[in-house]
Amino acid sequence: MLFDLFFKTRKPVEEDLPQTEGGCGSGSCGCKKKKEPAPVEPDGYDMKMGKTMNRRAAFRQLTAGLLAGAGMVQSCSITADKEKREEGQLKWEEYFKKNYRLMSDEEKSKTVERLERLYEINTGKTINVSTNGAVENVLYGYAFNISKCQGYMDCVNACVKENNQDRSSQMQYIRIHEMENGQLNFDDADDNYFHEVPAEGHFYLGTQCYHCENPPCVKVCPVGATWKEDDGIVVVDYDWCIGCRYCQAACPYDGRRFNWQTPEVPEEEVNHTQHYLGNRLRKKGVMEKCTFCIQRSRSGKNPACVEACPTGARIFGNILDPNSEIRWVLENKKVFRLKEDLGTEPKFWYYMD
């Protein structure tokens, strides 16, 4: 029975394969005009804007017999120009790349090259995708002063701009909650305030991904597409994520966001300084979240929200460095974290003056 099933699924492959192989040899093309390229949807690398195809659908097509590849089929078309062929080839290679954590340095640089080239082909602009690893002896921590935040929302603007978040769905990693003085209840907090700030008798508390030392989101990922880096940053491999959203359900802090649609960022607004695990452009059906601006923090800069905050309510740094500002805050101020009882050990503390 098992073999029957196997055979049934295999059969079309065997039927299809000779067709494509016969039609299109390696390099020297036997196909003529009459053979229109099959309506092959872009496979593998579907990160590019405007192309709709999820990983599952792509996989189904591949196993159904188009294994011989979009790249080769495309190369048969006389109309297809050199760039189209190159794009097909790059996408093809992108599709079969490994999980980022399993890549060698060489493989990392190759995928980066492909991503940069694909962006160039599609937009004519160049991006710079970094694969900088964690800096040794660094564990990032964050402190948020709830006495100082005035709810101005400059952090959110800076974050959206820095991290190439989808403009059409108004994706935001940071939420600023307006709370009544003397209360700390998220049910009663106003997340959609619409007036001059700071409002009388209220304080403001910002939430985002807390980069837990014991992150529940990482535990539940069925494909290992999200993990905690050595410097404590919890990251997502956007090309490995299958979009099951288990992590979103597991996060007790509403730290994760899902791309329900293909993210739209006007080219002129795209931040071209990117990181593979950070702000590079995402695709439909994958998770994303705050990465402490990994593309900035790993080169010594502060996350965009820290830099943009006009009140100095946000402190960032290396909590392993006994002389850092963040350590002083942790050791000298009254600090608290949200839902400490869960044992998630967020590296995001709140404090008061």
Partner 1 sequence: MKQLAVLGILALLMVLGVTCTPEHGEEEHSDSHHLLEQLKQISVDSLNYDFSRFDHVDKEKLVQIHQLMEGAEQFLIPDRLAEMKSYPCSNCHSKSLEALQAGKEPGEKKSHWDIEVVHAKTATMQCATCHDVNDFNQLHSLTGAPIEFRHSYELCGQCHSTQIKDWLGGAHGKQVGGWAPPRVSQTCVGCHNPHKPAFEKRLPARLNTEWLK
What are the residues binding partner 1 (CB under 8 A)?
1-3, 135-137, 139, 143, 145, 148, 150-154, 156-157, 170, 175-176, 191-198, 213-214, 218-219, 224, 227, 297, 299-302, 306, 309-312, 315-333, 340, 343, 345, 347, 351, 353
Nearer to partner 1, 267 or 325 (CB): 325
Please provide the distance, in angstroms rounded to a whole number, between the alpha carbons at the two ends of the chain. Answer: 70
DSSP run (H or E) holding 329 = helix 325-332
CB-CB contact of 140 with 326 (8 Å): no
Type of residue found at 331? E
Nearer to partner 1, 35 or 333 (CB): 333
Return the sign of the alpha-carbon dihedral for residues 214, 219, 220, 225.
Answer: positive
Q: Tokens for 141? A: 């921590």
Nearer to partner 1, 37 or 252 (CB): 252
Please, what is the minimum distance in Å from the beta carbon of residue 201 to partner 1?
13
Nearer to partner 1, 70 or 171 (CB): 171
Nearer to partner 1, 66 or 174 (CB): 174
Nearer to partner 1, 74 or 163 (CB): 163
Please, what is the minimum distance in Å from the beta carbon of residue 31 to partner 1?
40
Pairing of strands 314-318, 273-275: unpaired
| 3-state SS class at 81 | coil
Selection from 92, 97, 125, 128 nearest residue 111 by Cα? 97
Nearer to partner 1, 81 or 260 (CB): 260
CB-CB contact of 335 with 350 (8 Å): yes
CB-CB contact of 346 with 211 (8 Å): yes
Please, what is the minimum distance in Å from the beta carbon of residue 205 to partner 1?
13
Return the sign of the alpha-carbon dihedral for residues 188, 292, 315, 231.
Answer: positive
- How many other CB atoms sit within 10 Å of the CB of residue 21? 12
Please, what is the minimum distance in Å from the beta carbon of residue 319 to partner 1?
6
Q: Which residue(s) pair with 314 in the sheet?
A: 144
Please, what is the minimum distance in Å from the beta carbon of residue 163 to partner 1?
15
Nearer to partner 1, 2 or 78 (CB): 2
Selection from 160, 321, 106, 70 nearest residue 329 by Cα? 321
DSSP run (H or E) holding 273 = strand 273-275
Selection from 315, 330, 352 nearest residue 142 by Cα? 315
- How many other CB atoms sit within 10 Å of the CB of residue 19? 13
Please, what is the minimum distance in Å from the beta carbon of residue 332 to partner 1?
6
Please, what is the minimum distance in Å from the beta carbon of residue 302 to partner 1?
5
Please, what is the minimum distance in Å from the beta carbon of residue 79 to partner 1?
43
The DSSP output letter for 99 is: P
Please, what is the minimum distance in Å from the beta carbon of residue 310 to partner 1?
7
Q: Which residue has the tokens 């791309």?
A: 259
Nearer to partner 1, 279 or 318 (CB): 318
